[in-house]
Structure 1
Amino acid sequence: MVDTDRFRPSVTVAAVIEQGGRYLLVEEETPEGLRLNNPAGHVERGESPVEAVVREALEETARHFVPQAFLGVYLARFQRPAAAAPEDVTYVRLAFSGTVGEAIAGRALDAGIHRTLWLSAAELAACPGRHRSPLVLQCVHDHAAGRRLPLDAVFSHASLRAPGGQGRESRP
């Protein structure tokens, strides 16, 4: 018997990228209008969180992201009332900090991403109504406060990729 009331959070990753006191953000289209977010997205089947954050940062910023530290695990609930089907999702965000290179010339940004921009923590804090979620600013605050955990704090077993759950374990 399937438990349809079982809690099923949505697992996402986010890249927190700082250069010269400014943070790389994306401005993306949402049902609520244009919102600011860290480069972020969902972990796909067979993908480790580190692989997911590298992929998402590239897709959303057209820059190669090199993770250097794990910031932490963040949870937030999002509720959107809708006439047809209300949305009530809890997101589990795994946030990583790291560096990026220059934008790759000619590489398009992911669908729905309007542009990238660099903002200071104070500039980001001054516009909370434009944030995709409260986790955007929380991740930036934690980074600015010096939070850094080793990348190997996030473990991905090889069973993510291997048929039948067999395979090698991997660390970032």
Structure 2
Amino acid sequence: MAERLFKPSVTVAAVVEQQGRFLLVEEETPAGLMLNNPAGHLEQGESPLEAVVREALEETARDFRPEFFLGVYLARTQRVADDVTYVRLAFGGTVGEQIAGRALDAGIVRTLWLTADEIRASAERHRSPLVLQCIEDHLAGRRLPLAALHVHASVKSLS
């Protein structure tokens, strides 16, 4: 049997709206400063909910409380050295106040609260086309129950 070469990268993202503005991060990338939802990679041994709470905290210094599942998104990034397909699990929810003294994750320059129109107008600075798609789905009222995700106990086992 041939070796399986296609290995998508699984990520999680937090979509947070407060008073008509969405929480984004501005981050350093090989292409320069880009905008993204608070997001990152699912790590071995954690559930998607644990991952999105962790990533939001690391990138925004705020506690994220997932309230609904927004959906599963796929996008492909092709660069000179790599070709990656991302599978994004997006969650909507709320955040607390920024935790005083807590540093943002390496590469995160700052957090921003932008309106949907400001986000649409900055599409050329989005880290991924999924940034805006997740926000548009949120605005359209997409809300799936968190129970739509199941994590088998084997994810937590060490063997």
Aligned residues: 159
How far is the alpha carbon of 1:87 from its aligned partner? 0.8
Name the residue aligned to 1:102.
97
Name the residue aligned to 1:138.
133
Name the residue aligned to 1:55.
54
Provide the secondary structure at the position in 1 that maps to 2:58.
helix
What is the CA deviation profile of residues 58-89 of structure 1, one whole-angstrom value per residue up to 9, with x for unaligned ones? 000000000000000000000111xxxx1100
Provide the secondary structure at the position in 2 that maps to 1:23.
strand
Aligned partners of 2:52, 2:22: CA distance in 1, in Å? 16
Name the residue aligned to 2:3.
3
Aligned partners of 2:86, 2:25: CA distance in 1, in Å? 19
Provide the secondary structure at the position in 1 that maps to 2:136.
helix
How far is the alpha carbon of 1:158 from its aligned partner? 1.0
TM-score normalized with structure 1 length: 0.90
* Unaligned segments of structure 1, at least 5 residues: 165-172
| Divergent runs of 4+, >4 A | none
Name the residue aligned to 1:115.
110
Aligned partners of 1:163, 1:128: CA distance in 2, in Å? 41
TM-score normalized with structure 2 length: 0.98
How far is the alpha carbon of 1:163 from its aligned partner? 3.4
Aligned partners of 1:163, 1:11: CA distance in 2, in Å? 20
The one-letter code matched in structure 2 to 1:3 is E
